[in-house]
């Protein structure tokens, strides 16, 4: 582990542990401007910087959010913004005991010679950007790779290129003292079965950990953020909560080393309540036998009900905040294996 100083090793290990401790999880609020605008457009909310800022202020000022959320993943625009009273978003989160982190990939771009596949960019100049982010108070970072499923895809070329980029990003993060959240996401779009998702997720994670080993990334100082093992959204055969929990945990046990402190799932377009129920089932059935924490790092499955209520209007903020608090709390219960329908009342 040549690139991590002794001081950084301790800091990275501690931060990664804190992010998955006390049954809390991560709130992903790092949608890029185009993605945030797309979600606003669906609800006919004007796509302006002012409203993106107001929306993020609604999230950051939600009372009691820190009861369930250990860290929030921000986007570059957001870390330069302030609450109406002039407090920076970073300070507002830190004051509540929520650790701020930052998305640093520059997006998934079409891969040359591989129609339908993407590779995430952003390594150029990353060392300098990470240094700046660390100075601004960020303690962790995120890089997302997307793996599409379809006829003849994903290819080895796509999986390996993304895994290589993730490992180089992770090494740079650790050098800068930031915990890398390593996010390979096998997408839910498509007709594929749960078995196919299992096979692909296993291969992707196996390739990612091989690259992390090659790049000498310290596993105690990372978090894995990945998809649950699910049938595609258009697959005629949808599976029970227990089957998804079972397949997901079996897959992770095959490929995620015990030194990794935690796995935090993305929601990927699952309904909020289903994402909570599936996470709950994994913790009920397997928690006592797993080497790592099973946590959440949801964007849509925490934010969507709140965004629907907020709808771009200041007067809706208190109700939207209640919905956000509620979803975060449901996932906190899911981590404890205590989530059920009564928690939705
Ligand atoms: P979703 O939970 O909406 O999938 O988002 C998680 C995320 O951070 C994607 O990068």
Query: Please, are residues 216 and 2 in contact by the beta-carbon 8 Å criterion?
Result: yes
Angle, CA 327 vertex, CA 188 and CA 257 arms, to 5°: 55
- Mean pLDDT for all residues in the chain: 97
Query: Which residue CA neighbors atom 4 of ligand 1 most closely?
Result: 268
pLDDT digits (tens, 9 = 90+) for 120-178: 999 999 999 999 999 999 999 999 999 999 999 999 999 999 999 999 999 999 999 99
Cα separation, 190 vs 315, in Å, equals 39
pLDDT digits (tens, 9 = 90+) for 283-305: 999 999 999 999 999 999 999 99
Residues written for the chain: 345
User: Which atom of ligand 1 is nearest the CA belonging to 298?
Assistant: 2
> Is residue 225 among the annotated active site residues?
yes
Query: How many angstroms separate the Cα of 233 from the Cα of each of 28, 193, 317?
Result: 22, 9, 32
299, 303, 306, 307: residue to mutate for ligand 1 pocket, most atoms within 8 A of CB: 299
25, 28, 305: residue to mutate for ligand 1 pocket, most atoms within 8 A of CB: 28
- Range from 3-12, 26-35, 266-275, 302-311 carrying the lowest mean pLDDT: 3-12
Find tokens 């994994």 and name the residue: 282
pLDDT at 256 exceeding the cut of 90: yes
Tokens of 264: 């935090």
Neighbours of 333 (CB within 10 A): 18
User: How many helices (H) does the chain have, and how many strands (E)?
Assistant: 12, 10
Cα separation, 74 vs 206, in Å, equals 28
pLDDT digits (tens, 9 = 90+) for 23-69: 999 999 999 999 999 999 999 999 999 999 999 999 999 999 999 99
> Is residue 49 among the annotated active site residues?
no
User: 97-127: buried (b, 16+ CB within 10 Å) or exposed (e) per residue?
Assistant: ebbbbbbbbbebeebeebeebbbbebbeebe
């Amino acid at each position: 582990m040549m690139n991590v100083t002794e001081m950084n090793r301790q800091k990275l290990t501690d931060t990664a542990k804190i992010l998955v401790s006390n049954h809390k999880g991560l709130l992903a609020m790092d949608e890029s401007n185009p993605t945030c605008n797309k979600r606003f457009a669906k609800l006919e909310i004007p796509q302006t910087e002012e409203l993106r800022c107001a929306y993020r202020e609604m999230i950051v000022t939600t009372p009691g959010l820190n009861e369930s959320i250990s860290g929030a993943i921000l986007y570059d625009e957001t870390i330069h913004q302030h609450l109406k009273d002039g407090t920076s978003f970073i300070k507002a989160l830190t004051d509540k005991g929520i650790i701020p982190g930052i998305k640093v990939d520059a997006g998934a771009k079409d891969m040359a010679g591989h129609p339908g596949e993407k590779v995430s960019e952003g390594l150029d100049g990353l060392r300098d950007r990470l240094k700046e982010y660390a100075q601004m108070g960020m303690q962790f970072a995120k890089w997302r790779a997307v793996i599409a499923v379809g006829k003849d895809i994903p290819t080895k070329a796509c999986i390996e290129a993304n895994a290589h980029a993730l490992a180089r990003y992770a090494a740079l993060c650790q050098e800068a003292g930031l915990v890398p959240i390593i996010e390979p996401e096998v997408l839910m779009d498509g007709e594929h079965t749960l078995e196919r998702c299992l096979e692909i997720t296993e291969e992707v994670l196996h390739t990612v950990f091989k690259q992390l080993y090659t790049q000498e990334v310290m596993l105690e100082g990372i978090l894995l953020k990945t998809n649950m093992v699910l049938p595609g959204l258009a697959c005629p055969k949808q599976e029970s909560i227990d089957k998804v929990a079972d397949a997901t945990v079996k897959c992770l046990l095959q490929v995620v080393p015990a030194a990794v402190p935690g796995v935090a799932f993305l929601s990927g377009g699952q309904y909020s309540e289903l994402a909570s129920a599936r996470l709950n089932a994994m913790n009920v059935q397997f928690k006592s036998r797993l080497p790592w924490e099973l946590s959440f790092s949801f964007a849509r499955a925490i934010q969507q009900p709140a965004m629907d209520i907020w709808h771009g209007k200041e007067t809706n903020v208190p109700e939207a905040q209640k919905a956000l608090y509620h979803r975060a709390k449901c996932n906190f219960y899911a981590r404890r294996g205590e989530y059920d329908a009564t928690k939705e009342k």
